[in-house]
């Protein structure tokens, strides 16, 4: 029996709508052409046709059956911010009623957004994982006391066979997509140590919310929303080592920033600020640099003006 393929949006439509015209479904898109380092003229797109992949979050049918869950468990149960949190937060910012208690979920939202993106998925390298396991087993074999103890119990031939069996228990042929979907499952079910470690760290970061009040100015977003700024001021799509700041526009008029306390010692724990033109240009420039291939905006002329004379990212 064939399984129907489902389009799962790694850039959620519930997120994109806040960058759409009248917050509906029409948005302007510009594509980067790497061969000539130029951006194409903005064109109108529907959010249904943006940033999706077939079954990108689905765990294997074998794993789903073994654990008594649907293969679409992640898509159906995760991404809680699509169920009203973003609408409520943006509305409060725009009405000047947002309070510190309203931003307690922001670190979780930020990690949830960036971890469902292919830029994050590209960090899963089956070959690299395979190599690291070989190194760990080789180091184990070098432990002389352990090897001598095992040698008294069995022959070297049997010992090597035992290592081969041990390795086979760890190494399962997986594609990058399969490794990614399992990571998302572990993240949602609280089994991801790496996710928890990052979450514990950024829970202590300061939060700044920026709002645009000029009707003719807009934040851009991209197919890789948000970006990190490191201690050396370089911009990355995502980086938690040597990080200083993390920025993410969450609507055409609102952006959030997570600030490392060491590099924002004079900033309050929580603040809402009006975005200056200088800051707007910096955020939009970072969004463009961190994008994979596409950037989006609700205003065609604004997007065209930013990209028209830009060479490269």
> Is residue 132's pLDDT more than 50?
no
Residue 148: inside a domain, yes or no?
A: no
pLDDT of amino acid 281: 97
Higher pLDDT, 264 or 133: 264
Other beta carbons less than 10 A from residue 195's beta carbon: 19
Alpha-carbon distance of 32 to 178, in angstroms, equals 28
**pTM of the shown model:** 0.77
Alpha-carbon distance of 309 to 38, in angstroms, equals 9
Residue 177: inside a domain, yes or no?
A: no
First-to-last CA distance in the chain? 46
Within 13 Å of residue 184, how many CA atoms lie on the same side as its CB?
A: 31
- Tokens 């008594």 -> residue: 68
Which tens digit of pLDDT belongs to each residue from 149-198? 555 555 555 555 555 555 544 444 456 566 667 777 777 777 777 778 88
Which tens digit of pLDDT belongs to each residue from 263-296? 998 999 999 999 999 999 999 999 999 998 999 9
Residue 45: inside a domain, yes or no?
A: yes
Q: Are 280 and 48 in contact (CB under 8 A)?
A: no
Q: How large is the average pLDDT for residues 248-270?
A: 95
Lowest mean pLDDT among 21-25, 36-40, 143-147, 215-219: 143-147
pLDDT of amino acid 278: 97
Which tens digit of pLDDT belongs to each residue from 12-31? 888 899 999 988 899 999 99
CA triple 96-200-206, angle to 5 deg: 35
Residues 6+ apart with CB under 8 A from 189: none
> Is residue 300's pLDDT more than 50?
yes
What average pLDDT does the chain have? 80
Order of strands across the sheet that contains 254-259 = 235-236, 227-230, 243-249, 254-259, 206-211, 270-274
Token duo for residue 176: 């990058």
Residue 222: inside a domain, yes or no?
A: yes
Domain that holds residue 250: 7-118+201-307
Residues of the chain with pLDDT > 90, as a percent, come to: 40
Residue 162: inside a domain, yes or no?
A: no
Residue 137: inside a domain, yes or no?
A: no
Residue 191: inside a domain, yes or no?
A: no
State how many domains the chain has: 1
Lowest mean pLDDT among 62-66, 166-170, 188-192, 206-210: 166-170
What is the three-state SS of 152-198?
HHCCHHHHHHHHHHHHHHHCCCCCHHHHHHHHHHHHHCCCCHHHHHH
Q: Cα 19 to the chain's mean position, in Å?
A: 18
Which tens digit of pLDDT belongs to each residue from 26-42? 999 999 998 888 999 99
Residue 40: inside a domain, yes or no?
A: yes
């Amino acid at each position: 029996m064939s399984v129907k393929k489902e389009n799962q949006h790694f850039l959620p439509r519930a997120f994109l709508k806040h960058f759409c015209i009248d917050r509906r479904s029409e948005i302007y898109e510009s594509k980067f052409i790497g061969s000539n380092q130029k951006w194409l003229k903005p064109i109108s797109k529907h959010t249904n046709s943006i940033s999706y992949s077939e079954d990108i979050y689905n765990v294997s049918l074998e794993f789903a059956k073994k654990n008594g869950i649907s293969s679409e468990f992640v898509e159906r149960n995760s991404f809680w911010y699509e169920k009203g949190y973003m609408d409520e937060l943006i509305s409060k910012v725009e009405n000047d009623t947002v309070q510190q208690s309203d931003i307690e979920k922001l670190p979780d939202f930020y990690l949830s957004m960036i971890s469902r993106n292919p830029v994050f998925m590209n960090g899963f390298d089956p070959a690299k994982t395979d190599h690291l396991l070989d190194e760990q087993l080789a180091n184990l074999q070098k432990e002389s006391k352990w090897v001598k103890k095992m040698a008294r119990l069995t022959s070297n031939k049997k010992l090597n066979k035992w290592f081969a069996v041990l390795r086979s228990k760890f190494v399962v042929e997986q594609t990058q997509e399969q490794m990614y979907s399992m990571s998302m499952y572990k993240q949602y079910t609280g089994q991801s140590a790496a996710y928890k470690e990052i979450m514990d760290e950024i829970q202590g970061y300061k939060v700044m919310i920026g709002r645009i009040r000029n009707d003719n100015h807009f934040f851009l977003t991209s197919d890789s929303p948000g970006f990190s700024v490191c201690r050396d001021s370089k911009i990355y799509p995502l980086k938690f080592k040597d990080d200083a700041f993390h920025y993410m526009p969450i609507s055409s008029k609102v952006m959030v920033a997570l600030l490392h306390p060491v590099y924002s010692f004079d900033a309050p724990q929580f603040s809402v600020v009006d975005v200056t033109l200088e800051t707007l240009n910096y955020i939009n420039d970072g969004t463009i640099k961190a994008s994979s291939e596409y950037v989006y905006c609700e205003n065609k002329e604004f997007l065209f003006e930013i990209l028209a004379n830009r060479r490269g990212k």
